[in-house]
């Protein structure tokens, strides 16, 4: 019996689709049988990021409406890995073309055949989100170290908890370590403290991600990509629960901060003085 | 030369560490969201707290903070209310109501969510430090 994992975020543009493509490809590379399910009906992109856009015949809505014999007819085999498949979303339909109950049934069928079922969730918390989480056992929340992404992630975690999709895990994406060091970007500890969920991985901002999606080849396959390396680590944690956990580097307070603290002056006061 | 040093020192002081501001502001809004509580409602609670306590004690409303804090995923409403002096004759309820009503506007004008947020942040840090110290022992 495979695991059904939904990749979600609330906010758009934080890297859900990229994360889904990279985790799926990484899992396939690690020898697991994987199916990627694009639940973003009307705004499908996972096919493009994986470079499989020209091979689509049937889609998720066709499967649910039984326009093809079984879900097998709609599965697209990956170019690189025989053990990875994509079930694309419909492009010319609306999110309500599928119901949460139908997604549950489909996920249960898929989990019989694959080790991992990864669902790429649409942005938002409406119908599309409800569909995407309906059949999932676990959730991976993708966020960025940025106020709006973290706030939306908190909302989504709350909704998942209400649905008793317990144990959400967090991927902090598009991290810029230099800015964090300078205190100009929310630190990983800040994000962890606010959201209070387990961190599955920290993915640095990497220009190679753009090149990877331009080419339709996930960065996880590029040995020189920093983000790709981070995704390989996450894959290690997904396949082996005893893998090394995320190390969060404590940031050293700057020299002046320590001076102010020693003098008992709050930094705010010092900065306004 | 003097100019150089004052510039140098002020450049150190004006270090941009907006992430602390971001964290404090986020905590302010995320914790309220989890309770489906609006900032206006929190202000109402604050007004009520001021009214109740003012019946017995003279408090420093400027320094008072009332904010939602988190302990893990559970939340707590935390207040810090500096007391200036005891009130010799406790005020009866109707008078207190009138007093609070005249002060509502003042409180609203002073309410600075960013400042309140930072207080939460600092207090959370202080708590974390205390815990760390206990662990060391």
| Any B CB within 8 A of A92 CB | no
Find chain B residues with C-beta within 8 A of A266's C-beta.
122
Q: Do A256 and B12 touch (CB under 8 A)?
A: yes
In tens digits, chain A (273 residues) has pLDDT values of 899 999 999 999 999 999 999 999 999 999 999 999 999 999 999 999 999 999 999 999 999 999 999 999 999 999 999 999 999 999 999 999 999 999 999 999 999 999 999 999 999 999 999 999 999 999 999 999 999 999 999 999 999 998 887 689 999 999 999 999 999 999 999 999 999 999 999 999 999 999 999 999 999 999 999 999 999 999 999 999 888 878 776 555 666 666 766 776 655 555 555
How close B33 comes to chain A (CA, Å)? 8
Residue-wise pLDDT tens digits, A114-157: 999 999 999 999 999 999 999 999 999 999 999 999 999 999 99
Cβ A183–B18 below 8 Å, yes or no? yes
Q: Return d(Cα A79, Cα A64) in angstroms, integer.
A: 25
The pair phi, psi for residue A139, each rounded to 5°, is -130, 140
Instruction: Please determine, for residue B31, whether its predicted confidence score (pLDDT) is greater than 80.
Output: yes
Which residues 129-158 of A have a C-beta within 8 angstroms of B? 146-147, 150-151, 154-155, 158
ipTM above 0.85, yes or no: no
Confidence grade of residue B5 (pLDDT, cut at 50, 70, 90) = confident
**Per-residue confidence (pLDDT) for residue B97, from 0 to 100:** 54
Interface contact A186, partner B, CB < 8 A: yes
- Give B-chain residues touching A151 at CB under 8 angstroms: 26, 29-30, 33
Phi, psi (rounded to 5 degrees) for A199? -90, 125
Nearest-neighbour CA in chain A from B116: distance (Å): 13
pLDDT of residue B115: 40
CA A235 to chain B, closest CA, distance in angstroms equals 27
* Greater model confidence, B34 or A250: B34
Find, among B89, B69, B88, B91, the residue nearest to B80 by Cα.
Answer: B69
From the CB of residue A230, how many other CB atoms can be counted at a distance below 10 Å?
A: 23
Condensed to tens digits (0 to 9), the pLDDT of residues B80-114 reads 999 999 888 777 665 555 555 555 434 333 444 44
Compute the nearest-CA separation of A94 from chain B (Å).
29
pLDDT at B70: 86
Among A158, A182, A273, select the one facing B13 at the smallest CB separation: A273
A170 in helix, strand or coil? strand
End-to-end CA distance of chain A: 62
Specify the pTM.
Answer: 0.77
Contacts of A190 in chain B (CB under 8 A): 19, 22-23, 26
Cβ A18 vs Cβ A213: under 8 Å: yes
Instruction: Return the pLDDT at A241.
Output: 80
In this predicted structure, what is the pLDDT of residue A180?
93
Distance CA(B28)–CA(B121), nearest Å, equals 9
pLDDT in tens, B114-137: 444 444 445 555 555 665 555 554
Residue from the list A151, A268, A270 with its beta carbon closest to the beta carbon of B118: A268
Distance CA B17, CA B96 (A): 42
State residue A247's pLDDT score: 75
Give the closest-approach CA distance of A22 to chain B in angstroms.
Answer: 29
**pLDDT at B114 (0 to 100):** 40
Query: In this predicted structure, what is the pLDDT of residue A150?
Result: 97
Asked if A16 contacts A8 with a C-beta cutoff of 8 angstroms, the reply is: yes
CA–CA separation, A102 and A111 (whole Å)? 14
């Amino acid at each position: 019996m495979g695991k059904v994992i939904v990749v979600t975020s609330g906010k758009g543009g934080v890297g859900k689709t990229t994360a889904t493509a990279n985790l799926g490809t990484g899992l396939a590379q690690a020898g697991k049988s994987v199916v990627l399910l694009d639940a973003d009906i009307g705004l499908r992109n996972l096919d493009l990021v994986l470079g499989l856009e020209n091979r689509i015949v049937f889609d998720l809505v066709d499967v649910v409406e039984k326009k093809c014999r079984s879900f097998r007819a709609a599965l697209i085999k990956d170019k690189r890995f025989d053990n990875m498949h994509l079930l694309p979303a419909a492009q010319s339909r609306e999110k309500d073309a599928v119901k949460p109950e139908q997604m549950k049934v489909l996920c249960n069928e898929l989990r019989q055949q694959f080790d991992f079922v990864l669902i790429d969730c649409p942005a938002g918390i409406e119908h599309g989100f409800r569909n995407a989480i309906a059949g999932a056992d676990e959730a991976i929340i993708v966020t960025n170290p940025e106020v709006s992404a973290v706030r939306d992630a908190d909302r989504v975690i709350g909704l998942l908890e209400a649905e008793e999709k317990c144990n959400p895990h967090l991927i902090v994406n598009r991290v810029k370590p230099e800015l964090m060091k300078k205190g100009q970007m929310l630190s990983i500890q800040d994000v962890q403290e606010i959201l209070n969920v387990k961190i599955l991985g920290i993915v640095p901002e990497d220009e190679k991600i753009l090149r990877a999606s331009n080419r339709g080849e996930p960065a996880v396959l590029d040995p020189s990509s920093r983000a790709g390396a981070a995704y390989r680590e996450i894959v290690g944690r997904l396949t082996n629960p005893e893998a090394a956990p995320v190390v969060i580097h404590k940031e050293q307070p700057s020299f002046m901060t320590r001076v102010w603290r020693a003098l008992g002056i709050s930094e705010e006061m010092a900065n306004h003085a | 030369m003097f100019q150089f040093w004052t510039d140098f020192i002020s450049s150190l002081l004006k270090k941009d560490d907006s992430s602390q501001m971001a964290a404090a502001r986020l905590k302010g809004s995320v914790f309220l969201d989890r309770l489906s509580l609006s900032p206006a409602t929190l202000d109402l609670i604050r007004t009520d707290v001021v009214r109740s306590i003012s019946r017995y004690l003279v408090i420093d409303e400027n320094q008072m903070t009332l904010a939602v804090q988190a302990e893990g995923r559970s939340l707590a409403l935390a207040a810090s209310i500096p007391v200036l002096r005891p009130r010799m004759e406790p005020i009866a309820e109707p008078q207190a109501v009138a007093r609070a009503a005249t002060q509502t506007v003042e409180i609203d004008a002073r309410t600075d969510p960013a400042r309140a947020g930072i207080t939460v942040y600092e207090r959370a840090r202080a708590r974390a430090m205390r815990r760390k110290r206990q662990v060391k022992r």
